[in-house]
Amino acid sequence: MQPIIEVKGVSKRYRIGEKQRYYSFRDTLVDLATAPFKQKNKIRDNAFWALKDISFSVMPGEVIGIIGRNGAGKSTLLKILSRITPPTKGEITLRGRVASLLEVGTGFHPELTGRENIYLNGAILGMKRAEINDKFDEIVAFAEISRFLDTPVKFYSSGMYMRLAFAIAAHLDPEILLVDEVLAVGDAQFQKKCLGKMEEVAKEGKTVLFVSHNLIAIESLCSSTLIVNKGKIILNGETKKIIGKYLDIIKNNTKQILKNRTDRIGKGNIRIYKIEFRGENQLKTLTRGKDIYVLIQIESFYKVNIKARLALTIGTPDKMGILSADSELIGKSYDIPPASKSLLTCKLSSPPLNIGNYYINVAIFNKGEPEDWITSAANFTLEPSKYYDHISLNNFPVLSKFEWNVAQIK
């Protein structure tokens, strides 16, 4: 049996500060005609290799996880497999119809209605109208958008976009389904629904490539997993073993000096360069059931005051998110002084966390765009203590005060 996906020596080069050009058929003809008269340019110093000599193959029916730090090249790999952008070097062979879910709204025409976009995406996949008709009701029911089916999708919320995009990709019978870290857009119920559908698709013998930071989802869904780091596949194998090795890599990352971390996303006009933790009475020891203060030192290179959204999430070592302190949740933004260093303090009031080790992700947003976003930016350990005066031993990660009552039913 031949692999359904073959990737041989694929590399992708971008030039820093240069916009990616997407070629039309006319552009390609012009370039071919003028190529003999052009001098070959040397690769300039601002070249950035998002992928470097990637090779792997996937057999029909396999479900492959792809994990790695921010900026590792995971999304670039899926964009190349989806034919959204061409590789700089290397070859890709796909032996099947591909449906991809990479970014919210990818492949949608904003002026067309939800109904029209279903037929448009089906046509792009090479399906006949009768085939789309057979799946139409299932798509609408899964996406839960029946009331807005004849509304232009430009008026959809990001959640509606996401539900419809996933429903189309999963129901229109692709042989290969490529899913990027898009499930984070939906709520917990929708994520569960999508993961269930992906498992169903996999059981039908379809091939799935799944990029995610959710290691629990990766472990439950994927038989094999790749770790991508700095544009290269550094590990490939059985999912449980690979995740264990990946967690060791994350642990080592938090030991790096924060300002030297390169696995960060954002424009970089505001930079996070130091994180510290303080407990009760500003002690460095953090204990269960007590307030936690996260001290984040930043530097702004803007010449004007910026209104910023500040976000912090806490997760377990297996990267399961369990707590969010995002200023957007309380409808607030904060002034960041220009051309200066500032200290951000996030007080977590007696978070209901058990003893153990936790990781935090930190991000600063300006007008909806990340300035600096670092996953597993730092870690802390909660030490034992009485919790609410009556919980002393509990193996669950999240704690809650509780009491029981018994009443006789008459």
The pLDDT of residue 42 is 46
Looking at residues 18-24, what average pLDDT do you find? Answer: 53
Q: What is the pLDDT of residue 102?
A: 74
What does the block give as tokens for 304? Answer: 């004007």
Distance of alpha carbon 363 from the chain centroid: 14
pLDDT computed for residue 51 by the predictor: 94
Residue 45's pLDDT band (boundaries 50, 70, 90)? low
Q: What is the pLDDT of residue 31?
A: 64
pLDDT of amino acid 19? 53
- Mean per-residue pLDDT over the chain, rounded: 84
| pLDDT at residue 334, rounded to an integer | 96
Task: Please report the pLDDT score of residue 261 as a whole number.
Answer: 86
Phi first, then psi: give them for residue 79, nearest 5 degrees. Answer: -65, -35
pLDDT average, residue stretch 376-398: 70
% the chain with pLDDT above 70: 86
**pLDDT confidence band for 163 (50 / 70 / 90):** confident
Q: What is the pLDDT of residues 315-340, one digit of tens each?
A: 887 667 889 999 999 999 999 999 99
DSSP state letters, 113-153 = BHHHHHHHHHHHTT--HHHHHHHHHHHHHHHT-GGGTTSBG
In contact, 376 and 253? CB cutoff 8 Å: yes
Q: In degrees rounded to 5, what are phi and psi of residue 338?
A: -75, 150
List, for residues 179-216, the tens digit of each pLDDT value: 887 655 556 677 778 888 888 888 888 899 999 877 87
* Average pLDDT of span 3-30: 73
Would you call 37 helix, strand, or coil by DSSP?
helix
Q: Work out the average pLDDT over 350-362.
A: 88
Q: Which tokens go with 234? A: 């550094």
Q: What does the DSSP assignment read for 179-230?
A: E-TTGGGS-HHHHHHHHHHHHHHHHTT-EEEEE-S-HHHHHHH-SEEEEEET
Whole-prediction pTM value?
A: 0.67
Q: CB-side exposure of 382: number of CA atoms within 13 Å?
A: 26
Task: Over range 90-105, report the average pLDDT.
Answer: 82
What is the reported pLDDT for 186?
A: 57
Indicate left, alpha or beta for 316 from its phi (over 0: left) and psi (-120 to 50: alpha): beta
Domains of the chain: 5-251 (3.40.50.300), 258-383 (2.70.50.60)
Would you place residue 389 in the very low, low, confident or very high pLDDT band (cuts 50, 70, 90)? very low
pLDDT tens across 337-349, in order? 999 999 999 999 9
Which has the minimum average pLDDT: 35-39, 47-51, 52-56, 239-243?
Answer: 35-39
Average pLDDT in the 371-385 region?
87
DSSP one-letter code for 71: T
Q: What is the mean pLDDT of residues 103-132?
A: 82
Is residue 114 pLDDT above 80, yes or no?
yes
pLDDT in tens, 218-276: 888 899 999 998 899 999 999 999 988 888 887 777 777 888 888 888 999 999 999 99
pLDDT at 68: 87
Q: What is the pLDDT of residue 43?
A: 44
Q: Of 204, 212, 362, nearest to 276 (Cα)?
A: 362
What pLDDT does residue 348 have?
94
Q: Which residues of 171-195 are buried (b: 16+ CB within 10 A; e: fewer)?
A: bbbbbbbbbbbbbebbeeebbebbb
Stretch (H or E) spanning 359: strand 356-366
Number of Cβ within 10 Å of residue 345's Cβ equals 9
Q: How does strand 306-315 pair with strand 356-366?
A: antiparallel
